[in-house]
Amino acid sequence: MEKLKAELKERIIENLNLEDIEVSDINDNDPLFGEGLGLDSIDALELIVMLDKDYGIKIADPKEGKAIFESINTMATYISENKPA
Amino acid sequence: MDKQVYISKYCHITNNQVFINGELVFENTQTDTTKNYLKSIYKSLDIKYPKFFKMDNFSKIAFLGAEFLLKEEDNKNIAIVFSNNASSLDTDRKHQDSINDLDNYFPSPSIFVYTLPNIGIGEISIRHQLRSENAFFVSEQFNTTQHNTYETSLLTEEKTEQVLGGWVNIDNDEIDVFMYLIGKKGIEKYTKENIQNLYNK
Amino acid sequence: MQTGKQECTQKITLNNHVKKIFITHHQIISPLGFDSASNFEKLKLKKTGLKELKRRNGNVYVGAKVDDDELDTAFSKIGIIDNFTKLEKMMLLTIQNLLDDSNFKITPNTGLIISTTKGNVDCLDPSSPFYKDEKRAYLPTLGKVIQNFFNFKDEAVVLSNACVSGVLAISVASRFIRQEAYQDVIVVSGDLVSEFILSGFTSFQAISSQLCKPYSKNRTGINIGEVAAGIIVTGDVAKLNENSIEITGSASCNDANHISGPSRTGEGLVLSIKSAVKEANIDLKEIDYISAHGTATAFNDEMESIAMGRLGLTNVPLNSLKGYYGHTLGSSGLVESIIGIESLNQNTLIASLGYDENGVTNELNIIKETEEKPLNTFLKTASGFGGCNTAVIFKKATTNG
């Protein structure tokens, strides 16, 4: 799980072009949207693509994204529970 | 009502240099990629605007040009009229590459949103809080007649007090930016001949 | 300076607006028909051009496409079908129909404005017959093809300003004529339903798998459609006919808020409408009808409702025509303006197809059934990516009361 979380942080920084942010800047429980990393609606859509491309998970209803992408912890939990075998 | 319009400031951005009013203000002949080159210009501006890194190269060059010309402007009544040759093709090709292979098919929303040339105008409007007239034209070469006609109409119809105009082109990593600010005050009369001469400089 | 009726010149307060600008003729090529008249008749009967279509990957979507064979049959009368892309054929045929219908002659004083968001972008697709022609996807090439076909003297003014392009093109045409760059301008618009566009809007989770439902509670997103449209714009009152419509005001204002999400306050749209109304020198109360954008996405429709609420326009009859044509991108503003013009000329309000239950904060006066009503003035609005908004006011040219 820790490995997955570290990997997620790296991928988020890379995929969302968070140029001035380091892996160590992101805490597992920090909110990703709003006052946290300051991600916006396009980033949310990009994370849906990332889950599909990197983890083979398709989110059918984008409204689900809100809960899944709350923090690194919630994302990691969702991925480990839904990753195709 | 025949009001003389003046050019108050202009800038050029090429693949390794930036000029303001014809004077070299930045040079970088070392970088490997367009992305890194544009980042080096951004760093030289000493601003903090993380959204810059999310933009495509086209919006970045538009953003940087505007940054040089608008950083000391308080007026918010500034229209934006840009043109270029390649529209957003530089980014269109990236989106096309992501959908050609049905087995590796991952179109990216953060790329697709930049497949419109006026997004660069949107980025500048957000950065400088300009709720003004904007238009994006596409022509074979920088068409000073079209620019002059449209910009003059915006000024004489009092739709705006100033215009940020120019040619903002990037195609296969070739950068050609010429941007100018026009209004009631300035260093040179705004005519299409003067604009053409400054562009060629 | 030529002016129209005496009483009208009195009303104009802005110094530079003495020259009046009119639309004298219009044409549409769409899945509903190959001229404006048949399109309007179909709309009166609530016929939609939208239907279930198949993506390359087999997925079904709802969209509206112009039939290739029908287009080629019509185009073969004026040109060689294999030499032109589908979009070029649609645009060329639109202009040809405009010329045939009006007996208008293109002179060195006639300007050409082309409105498109993506032009021939489908030529980037390796399966396109024009894939090897590297210059074909460039918009100036599209401009050149149209310019040369009809021998326009000047390079085309190609306008690519996202989803407001079609409305903005009308505004640009007026401004070019007022600046005396041209005496008349032909505006043509067009965009295609391509994999490029479908894949992009799908990644935005914006595409509906059902018929779109603008302003409705259960709206599920947009349908994409393809249309070409064209108008003749003139400042020459000698060219007017009984169906001519005056363009009395226009404006475009940016939200300065977000590049893809519309402003939550509708700021740019409010400013655009205010500025257009001011230029038209009318009171907001004089607007008889609003042809709105209404893409049927959650955020766009809500933004429009906020803007209309702020302006006190929620009681004005309003429709979105996306239920007939889908979202036709750079053509949407022009085709929808043309339908608005026909609405004025036929004193007929067209039902907003797909509407059932109110789904926006400020309930709008959505036109539920097509009905006859005396109309003089209408407002056309559009909003798009990049935070752009445009508003144009149109008025009957022959209201000499």
Closest residue in chain A to residue C261, using alpha carbons only: A41
DSSP lists the bridge partners of residue C327 as C224
Given C179, C205, C239, which residue is the final one in a domain?
A: C239
Residue B189 pairs in a beta bridge with B6
C266 domain residue, yes or no: yes
Say whether both C123 and C155 belong to one domain.
Answer: yes
- What pLDDT shows up at residue A78? 95
Every domain of chain B and the residues it spans: 6-200
Instruction: Record the tokens describing residue C56, joined without a space.
Output: 């390359």
User: What pLDDT is attached to residue C171?
Assistant: 98
Cβ pair C354, C212 in contact under 8 A: yes
At the topology level, CATH places domain A2-82 in 1.10.1200
Distance from the A24 Cα atom to the nearest Cα atom in chain B, whole angstroms: 18
**Structural contact between residues C94 and C230, judged by C-beta atoms closer than 8 angstroms:** yes
Range in A60-74, C271-285, C331-345 the model is least confident about:
A60-74
Decide if A41 and C258 are in contact by the 8 Å CB cutoff: yes
- Residue B68's contacts (CB-CB under 8 Å, 6 or more residues apart) are B11, B18, B20, B25, B45, B179
Chain B contact present for A49, CB below 8 A: yes
CB contact (8 A) between residue A49 and residue B107: yes
For residues C37 and C116, state if they share a domain: yes
Closest C-alpha to B69, from B176, B166, B172, B141: B166
pLDDT in tens, B86-123: 999 999 999 999 999 999 999 999 999 999 999 999 99
Query: Would you say residue C10 lies in a domain?
Result: no
C296 and C383 within one domain:
yes
Cα distance between residue B186 and residue B198, in whole Å: 14
Q: Are residues C142 and C68 in the same domain?
A: yes
CATH number, domain of C213, equals: 3.40.47.10
Q: Which residues in chain B have their CB less than 8 angstroms from residue A20's CB?
A: 50, 53
- pLDDT for residue C4 is more than 60: no
Residue A1's pLDDT is 87
- Give the residue from C204, C239, C274 where a domain finishes: C239
Residue A84 pLDDT class (50, 70, 90 cuts): confident
C270 lies in which domain range? 245-396
Q: Collect all residues of chain B within an 8 Å Cβ-Cβ radius of residue C387.
A: 122, 125-126
Q: Which residue of C has its CA nearest to A41?
A: C261
Helix (H) or strand (E) holding B188: strand B188-189
| pLDDT value of position C173 | 98
Q: Average pLDDT of C349-355? A: 98
- Name the residue among C56, C58, C84 with its Cα closest to residue C72: C84
Q: Are residues C228 and C256 in the same domain?
A: no
In a domain, C12, yes or no: no
Rounded average pLDDT over A40-46: 92
> C292 with C154, same domain?
no
Instruction: Please indicate if any CB of chain B lies within 8 Å of the CB of A35.
Output: no
Residues 121-150, chain B: which have Cβ within 8 Å of A?
Answer: none
Q: What is the CATH number of domain B6-200?
A: 3.40.47.10
* Mean per-residue pLDDT, C139-158: 98
pLDDT at residue C209, as a whole number: 93
What's the rounded mean pLDDT across residues B171-177? 97
Neighbours of chain A (3+ CB pairs under 8 A): B, C
CB C387 within 8 A of CB B125: yes
Tokens standing for residue B116: 């419109």
pLDDT given for residue B159 in this prediction: 96
Q: What percent of chain C has pLDDT over 90?
A: 94
Q: Give yes or no for A29 touching C (CB within 8 A).
A: no
ipTM score here? 0.97
Same domain, C80 and C226: yes
CB–CB of A45 and C205 under 8 A? yes
pLDDT for the residue B2: 54
Q: How confident is the model at residue C10 (pLDDT cuts 50, 70, 90)?
A: very low
CA atoms of C15 and C19, how far apart (whole Å): 10
Confidence check: pLDDT of C275 > 70: yes
Q: What are phi and psi of C158, to 5 degrees?
A: -100, 120
| Per-residue pLDDT band at C9 (split at 50, 70, 90) | very low
SS (H, E, C) chain C: CCCCCHHHHHHCCCHHHCCCEEEEEEEEEECCECCHHHHHHHHHCCCCCCEEEECCCCCEEEEECCCHHHHHHHHCCCCCHHHCCHHHHHHHHHHHHHHHHHCCCCCCCEEEEEECCCCCHHHHCCCCCCCCCCCCCCHHHHHHHHHHHHCCCCCCEEECCHHHHHHHHHHHHHHHHHCCCCCEEEEEEEECCCHHHHHHHHHCCCECCCCCCCCECCCCCECEECEEEEEEEECCHHHCCCCCEEEEEEEECCCCCCCCCCCCCCHHHHHHHHHHHHHHCCCHHHCCEEECCCCCCHHHHHHHHHHHHHHCCCCCCEECCHHHHCECHHHHHHHHHHHHHHHHHHCEECCCCCCCCECCCCCCCECCCCEECCCCEEEEEEEECCCEEEEEEEEECCCCC
Residues C114 and C211 in one domain: yes
User: How confident is the model over B32-78, as pLDDT tens digits?
Assistant: 899 999 999 999 999 999 999 999 999 999 999 999 999 999 999 99
How far is it, in rounded angstroms, from Cα C362 to Cα C358? 9
Q: Is pLDDT of C2 > 60?
A: no
pLDDT-derived band at C15 (thresholds 50, 70, 90) equals very low
Average pLDDT score, chain A: 90
C226 shares its domain with C134? yes
Antiparallel, parallel or unpaired: β B188-189 and C51-54: unpaired
What number of other Cβ atoms are within 10 A of residue C365's Cβ?
A: 16
β-strand pairing of C377-384 with C388-396: antiparallel
| C229 shares its domain with C249 | no
pLDDT digits (tens, 9 = 90+) for C20-29: 999 999 999 9
pLDDT at site C61: 96
Mean pLDDT along residues B125-136 = 97
Which of C185, C204, C239 finishes a domain?
A: C239
Closest listed residue to residue C118, CA positions, set B146, B59, B118, B79: B118
Q: How many domains does one find in chain C?
A: 2
C224 & C305 share domain? no
* Cβ <8 Å between A19 and B113: no
